[in-house]
Structure 1
């Protein structure tokens, strides 16, 4: 399985995060990685898609590589500087955007094997060097996204990210909702109905999060401290405490890794004991002594273990089929219309 996931990382965009400007997309990605490494500021800061490929390794050393540089990065501050530098190289210094992605691989024992894509925030009116059709360009970038990010203190009915999701996933079967800034709702109100999917149902559901404020970032609040504060907020909140196990960055990371926990958790010998093996060998050989393990016993034991892979394998195949179907349906070539 560890050999398969890096291969999948090369050909898939497992989670594409899209949302309006300043909705907390970058905070979500940084919380998953556990490091402060994405550019921040006013207006549209993410101006090129950032394809972030995470690899879980046994070593305590954390390092990263960009596809456009033959250099190993061990400082996340330098990673941020390189993202800014590479963005400006292609997009200029005045808010221009580009569809040309930046590829970044991070190797750490604190991440899960996953590919994330950070997209430019949805914007309506061009500023600076931005093209007149910037809204259309960003909509095109997010065409295949499957995770919508919206702040809790905004009306979900006007969510641009969910509007984009409906175009490619009208039934809400492949889209997961990330509700940020849950702690910033008006006094006396909460986002419970939204998080429970009662306002806009999604098959994959919603995860609520508390993002670091700009003041906390300026004051030096680390992501580790922020995650602890988020966990405390949900556990002690009069409304959210009952569902706190399904809220926060830990719940989001677990959810994203569910399909892989489904496969990795199937240990080949988990339900087979030494007694089971001994019994199978005796039943297969009956009264005939044998110097080697009976092939029949091997087949019986292996078949029942392979059967346990059926359900997660079918889930994986279904997801691949769905993605391929959507990709083909989006290709407008005369040769394929028939």
Structure 2
């Protein structure tokens, strides 16, 4: 009854290999390993009793050969049938072979089996003596074999021969380790007896994966070729290299016997005579030879199957669960089939559209169930754009980076017309500050573009595994939302552009945060005074002050505790401002002047009038010297020029006078102050506009837009067309799941047999 265990596992192996093409369950099997010319092929042919394996020099076995031996007439009692390959055995029943890659075709001639192995090996592994991991599955049906599952692997080699790859040794070792490392594999290590056991490559590899020797069987070949006076009795007795499963000695046909076409039955009889009459082995002859090896392998494999059966069942249950989850991800059969029932197509489309739009909205709101932990995305990314990207882009803008001193002076001169100005004209400030506000437009438009791109990214990533079944529907959903986003991009960009234009349309110098004229002058004066103090401190420390003391520049006190300093070379002397004369600020100076200096309604002259002097005079009443243009102004010869040639007149720009320096610095401070006000407004208004016109509008409109565009009965069939590759994957997954179910049923059959056999054994013991 125990003989049924191996056929059941063979059935399990067929089920798995026929569908998956690899041993994902790690089924119990015997793996044959050994070096080249160690006698592996001869051992397998002796067990089968047929010549069917390729022979030759170098690596002959270049693909794993999974050999299943199936007894076609199992005995009812062990005493009723002669042992396989014995002299009493007569080949009355037919024997044949089948390949897994040629289902349904029987080979009665084993010479054809050899040729098919060679052909199939060359087809996959090529003709250059290289190896390949894809196995060849061969079944041999015979009444003279015991049920076994054997795996023949390429022999270990050291040196590449001919066209073999240079790393052929490494490839072979990796392939062998891949098979023998599996816990459910029994290792059959074949070693020639005429070499030192410590040089056995098969035993070395076996020890790496099975250091305790619990699942390794040693086979000694070529015992008849040992030197005279030597024998392997110590090894076969287990006293040299202990293995739990022991060593078994066999004698194969020699090369001379093969060339002389000595039959396998004759070779088996010669082997039996050798052990029976050899003085060293005759006492253990019953534990030597191919017949004993086949019987031992059969019993060991059955015991190993019984031991590993619970693990096999657990592995099958795990694989079935994993495959069931994969199949669920592909969805059920039919359009919109859920839980075994087929929904109307319209309802199915509505469900998918609703799920898609909900995922889109949840990605923006940050409530999506699956949120990335690797990078910012969705609403968090939009927040980052507003606060970090856009905010930093505005902060790094220098309000006057593109305004040179020449630009400011030219603007002041152009705004005064043909007459000299008494103070800094307001028109110059307006003329210069408006273009600077436009510097805020490029980063603002870029902010809109970045948010738009992020919404497009969300749109392409908010589908789920169920929606991937219908690529046309998914494409249409993305297309509709993308079109909605493109529609909103234009109005949003236009509105942001309008925000900049609004700020340029009216320069509000009455803004509470605007520095104003008095503030700008005070800031300028404070800066000069601070610089002068630092310079004087530096001179004192350097010991260069005149008469040992630093002489301060003359200053004019200003009401409120401030003083006004001016250069010595103007000829001005220290003089206080008139009592009660508080300066008024005209033009851009009037902005926030009241917060610094209170104007008097009785004051007739402005602060700048007092500062620069009336009609070119200083506050002392003395005339300011006219700018000296000698050497800096070149008068061109205009006697022969017409009015149209006036543009070609070249003037050398004179150096800035001290008044011009103060005017340009004053204008620069005012521009910076007002630009900062506008920058703060834009930094607040642009994100709000983008959220209202682009983000929130899209969130509120996405569901209605999807329904209006796609919920049309004439589109249902096209939208719910399944992806062909996905349908094939689901079909393959269903087939694999069925394979695992069948394998599980086979494993349960083995388990039920074990229970029955155990009950039968207990009954037999109780009867005795």
1:321 match: none
Q: In 2, are the aligned partners of 1:13 and 1:116 still within 8 Å (CA)?
A: no
The reply on whether 1:30 has 2:45 as its aligned counterpart is yes
Answering whether residue 56 of structure 2 is matched by residue 15 of structure 1, we say no
Q: Residue in 1 aligned with 2:93? A: 60
With over 3 angstroms needed to count, the CA separation of the structure-2 counterparts of 1:75 and 1:204, relative to structure 1, is: same
Q: Is the 8 A contact 1:20 1:123 kept in 2?
A: yes
Rounded Cα–Cα distance in structure 2 between residues aligned with 1:91 and 1:14: 24
Shift of 1:28: 0.4
Shift of 1:105: 0.6
How does the TM-score come out when normalised to structure 2? Answer: 0.34
- For residues 153-232 of structure 1, what are the structure 2 equivalents within 5 Å? 153-232=194-273
Secondary structure of residue in 1 paired with 2:145:
coil
Residue of 176, 180, 187 corresponding to 1:142 = 176
Distance apart, 1:130 and its partner CA: 2.4
How far did residue 194 of structure 1 move?
Answer: 1.2
Aligned pairs for 1:112-127 (under 5 A) are: 112-127=146-161
Q: Which has the higher contact order (CA 8 A, sep 6+)?
A: 1
Cα distance per residue 1:179-208 (max 9 Å; x no partner): 000011111111111111111110000000
| Alpha-carbon spacing, 1:7–1:128, altered in 2? closer, same or farther (3 Å) | farther
**The structure with more helix, counted as a fraction of residues:** 2
Sort the Cα spacing of 1:115 and 1:182 in 2 relative to 1 into closer, same or farther, 3 A: same
Contact kept, 8 Å, 2:52 with 2:110, in 1: the verdict is yes
Return closer, same or farther for 1:183/1:54 CA change in 2, 3 Å cut-off: same
Q: Distance in 2 between matches of 1:309 and 1:104?
A: 38
Contact map agreement 1:16 1:116 (CA 8 A) in 2:
yes
Question: Which residue in the other structure is 2:276 paired with?
Answer: 235
Larger Rg over CA atoms: 2
Q: Kindly indicate which of the two structures has a greater share of residues assigned to strand.
A: 1
Contact 1:13–1:117, Cα closer than 8 Å, also in 2 = no
Instruction: Describe how 1:304-315 pairs up with structure 2 within 5 A.
Output: 305=760, 307=762
In structure 2, do the counterparts of structure 1 residues 309 and 199 end up closer, same or farther at CA, with 3 Å as the change threshold?
Answer: farther
Q: Which runs of 5+ in 1 are unaligned?
A: 264-301, 311-338
Distance 1:184 1:88 in 2: 33
**What is the CA distance between 1:133 and its match in structure 2?**
2.4
Which segments of 5 or more consecutive residues in structure 2 lack a partner in the other structure? 14-26, 74-91, 181-186, 305-756
Q: 2:109 aligns with which of 43, 63, 75?
A: 75
Give SS of 2:38's match.
coil
Partner Cα separation in structure 2 for residue 230 and residue 163 of structure 1:
28
| SS of the residue 1:257 aligns to | helix
In the aligned structure 2, how far is the partner of 1:13 from the partner of 1:138? 22
Q: Give how far 1:259 is off.
A: 4.4
Report Cα offsets for 1:140-188 as digits up to 9, x if no partner. 2222431100000011101110000011100111100000000111111
Q: 1:45 aligns with which of 60, 64, 83?
A: 60
Distance in 2, matches of 1:46 and 1:226, equals 23
1: CA distance, partners of 2:190 / 2:764: 33
- Greater shift after overlay, 59-68 or 23-32? 59-68
Match for residue 94 of structure 1? 128
CA-CA distance at 1:138 after TM superposition: 1.5
- Secondary structure of the residue aligned to 1:142 is helix
Distance in 1 of aligned mates of 2:758 and 2:4:
23
Relative to structure 1, the CA distance from residue 306 to residue 248 in structure 2 (aligned partners, 3 Å threshold; closer, same or farther) is closer
1:286-319 CA distance string (max 9 Å, x none): xxxxxxxxxxxxxxxx986353799xxxxxxxxx
TM-score, with structure 1 as normaliser: 0.76
Shift of 1:226: 0.4
State whether residues 30 and 301 of structure 2, in contact with CA within 8 Å, keep that contact through their aligned partners in structure 1.
Answer: no
| SS of corresponding position for 1:129 | coil
Q: Answer yes or no: is the 8 Å Cα contact 1:55–1:112 preserved in 2.
A: yes
The whole-number CA distance in structure 2 between the counterparts of 1:13 and 1:137 is: 24
Seen in structure 2, the aligned counterparts of structure 1 residues 303 and 8 have a Cα distance that, compared at 3 Å, is: closer
CA distance in 2, matches of 1:202, 1:104: 30
- Measured in 1, the distance between the counterparts of 2:6 and 2:233 equals 35
Contact 2:6 2:302 in 1 (8 A): no
* Distance verdict in 2 for CA 1:25–1:239, change over 3 Å: same
Shift of 1:261: 7.7
Alignment of 1:130 onto 2:130: no
Classify the secondary structure of the residue corresponding to 2:190. Answer: strand
Query: What are the superposed Cα offsets for residues 56-80 of structure 1, whole Å, 9 maximum, x if unpaired?
Result: 1128111111111131111101101
Question: Is residue 55–residue 105 contact of structure 1 (8 Å, CA) maintained in 2?
Answer: yes
Cα distance change on mapping 1:307 and 1:134 into 2, 3 Å = farther
Structure 2 equivalent of residue 274 of structure 1:
none
Which residues in structure 2 correspond to 1:259-298 (within 5 Å)?
A: 259=300
> Secondary structure of 1:21's match?
coil
What is the root-mean-square deviation of aligned Cα atoms in Å? 2.3
String of CA shifts for 1:4-26, please: whole Å, max 9, x gaps: 42231243352111100000000
1:125 CA displacement: 2.0
- Identify the range of structure 1 (73-82 vs 142-151) with the bigger mean alpha-carbon deviation: 142-151
Q: Cα 1:63–1:304, aligned 2, differ >3 Å: closer, same or farther?
A: closer
Greater mean deviation of Cα atoms: 151-160 or 52-61: 52-61
